Amino acid sequence: MVDFQTLKHFVNNMNGKGDKWRGGWSQQYANNHNKIFGDKMKLVDHRNRELKIGQRVRIEEDIPSPNGMLYRDSIVKLDEFNTKTKKVRVTDSLGKVWWVEPTQVSCSFL
């Protein structure tokens, strides 16, 4: 037979992971979470307009590479954003993949 008072005493005197309340976030935890993960990094062009993945954008300057040249005023499509290198992957009309800086593209077509 189990003595409930002994069991109750045992449960209340736990010292370890289970003895603290684990529900909800404190403000300190929320601030730390925002520091680490933050809001999703916004992509902005050279005029601070927000860029979205899948959007068609215009190239602002000539971008040379060993595989060719991406000319100014070319229309490309945003495919991906690399958070480590902070570069945007775009594809041109031929399907060639380019990695460019977000400041080298513009939402404006005019």
What are the extents of the domains in the chain? 43-106
Is residue 81 a contact partner of residue 107, using CB atoms and an 8 Å limit?
Answer: no
Fold that domain 43-106 belongs to in CATH: SH3 type barrels. (2.30.30)
pLDDT (average), residues 62-83: 92
Region class of 79: left (phi > 0), else alpha (psi between -120 and 50), else beta: alpha
How far apart are the C-alpha atoms of 43 and 52, rounded to whole Å? 7
The yes-or-no verdict on residue 22 having pLDDT over 80 is no
Helices (H) and strands (E) in the chain, counts: 2, 9
Which of residues 17 and 103 earns the better pLDDT score? 103
Q: How far is CA 98 from CA 69, 80, 94, 104, in A?
A: 10, 11, 11, 12
Which tens digit of pLDDT belongs to each residue from 40-53? 667 777 788 888 88
**pTM higher than 0.85:** no
